Structure 1
Amino acid sequence: MATQAYPPGGTFFDTAKRSFTAVPVNKSKDNAISTTEFLEASESLTKLFDVLGSVAFKPVASDMTGNIKKIRDRQLSSPIDSETLQDLVLNELKTKKHTATEGLVWLVRGLDFTSQALRKNLSNPSEELSTSFRDAYGNTLKPHHSFMIKPLFSAAMSATPYRKDFYAKLGDNQERVQKELGEWLSALEERVGILKEFLGRKECKY
């Protein structure tokens, strides 16, 4: 089981390199999202799967990490064209490649899955994590997964810890945990929504 890595009174969110609340969105530029900060926040989110504490979540975390790498590789190879995620996608597609764009599509699906699961659980105090995660999986990733991948992810959904154990691992001050999780989720949901709308546009098809 994962152990807490934060001092008494602290929370999981204190340990994050970056929260989604600190990922800039430029509303005057079609909700452009800063690439570097978004990738840092996404990497911090993958640590949440350590808190879930099951080896079954390894495929979920490694899938996200792999997609983050695809996006970062493109950013490093063409930094001026990749300051925002939207610029990165449109400039990559001009080169007739779509490795990073596809990575972002899958990363957004993974983030959508995580945010839906945690939002459902936070909003339903009597619901166990396994139910919340299973429902979110059906709404987000499952329709896109092959019959070989589905059992791996289904196993992860069934291996979630008990609700009370999970929230206890996020911090010993539950009032603070709930508040910070709610703020983090709202920021994540806003950015996922922006990217889903953007990636659904005709110019983003590959």
Structure 2
Amino acid sequence: MATPAYPPGGTYFDNAKRSFTSVPINASKDNAISTTEFLEAAESLTGLFDVLGSAAFLPVKKDMTGNITKVRTRQLEAPLQSETLQELCLNELKAKKHVASEGLVWLVRGLEFTSQALRRNLTNSSEELSVSFRDAYGKTLKQHHSFLIKPLFSAAMSACPYRKDFYSKLGDDQPRVQKELDVWLTALEERLKILNVFLSSKEVKW
């Protein structure tokens, strides 16, 4: 019997190791985002692909976890220079390397794809997940993917479960599920906005 995605009487978000709502942003340091907490929250997000329940989502999850690993590897190599994501990238680039910085770019793209899909689905209560995810893919990752990768992601979009089945796996109390998903998405969107500005700046080029 499959383990439920949420504890009795709770929601999926109760099980998450870290929510994006508890990822610190240091406004006094140009909105610096804490590395450890952000990576933990990103890892917790990849669990949603398990809830989506299709093997077709494995490439999506693998791609995201691989990029988390690239960023964390750099953090472990230079912890004092990597307390925030911005510091991590800038110090890596000073060392004439960009493995983790490139990993962060792709991680942000994957998170953007996921957040846009879920936001659209949450906003459009009659829309099926496959429609929301396909639309988000077209607006985010698709332009960056090769002709070999696109079919793998397209297969995942087509394999989305029915909307009602997905939300029921997130919790029994649907108003609470949707409220918590909204709060979680809002926090993720805020951090992605900061990172997109940073990653598109002149400082972050290789």
Retained in 2: the 8 A contact 1:18–1:44?
A: yes
CA contact (8 A) 2:32 2:86 kept: yes
User: What is the match of residue 198 of structure 1?
Assistant: 198
Residue 9 of structure 1 aligns to a residue whose secondary structure is coil
Q: Which runs of 4+ in 1 moved over 3 A?
A: none
Rounded to whole Å, the distance in 1 between the matches of 2:3 and 2:55 is 14
TM-fit CA distance, 1:3? 4.2
CA deviations 1:4-58 (Å, max 9, x no partner) are 1433321000000000000000111110000000000000000000000000000
Instruction: In structure 1, give the amino acid aligned to 2:165.
Output: D
Which residue in the other structure is 2:166 paired with?
166
Q: How does 1:87-126 map to 2 (within 5 A)?
A: 87-126=87-126
**Which residue is equivalent to 1:181?**
181
**Conserved? CA contact 2:64–2:110, under 8 Å:** yes
Distance in 2 between residues matched to 1:5 and 1:151, nearest whole Å: 28
TM-score normalized with structure 2 length: 0.98
Map 1:47-86; keep pairs closer than 5 Å: 47-86=47-86
TM-score, normalised to structure 1's length?
A: 0.98
Structure 1 segment 110-149 matched on structure 2, within 5 A? 110-149=110-149
For the aligned residue pairs, the C-alpha RMSD in angstroms reads 1.0
Change (3 A) 1:2 1:129: farther
Which amino acid is the alignment partner of residue 70 of structure 1? K
Q: Could you say which residue in structure 2 is the equivalent of 1:30?
A: 30
Structure 2 residue runs of 5 or longer lacking an equivalent are: none
CA apart distance, 1:71:
0.3
Could you tell me how far apart the structure 2 residues matched to 1:69 and 1:2 are?
A: 27
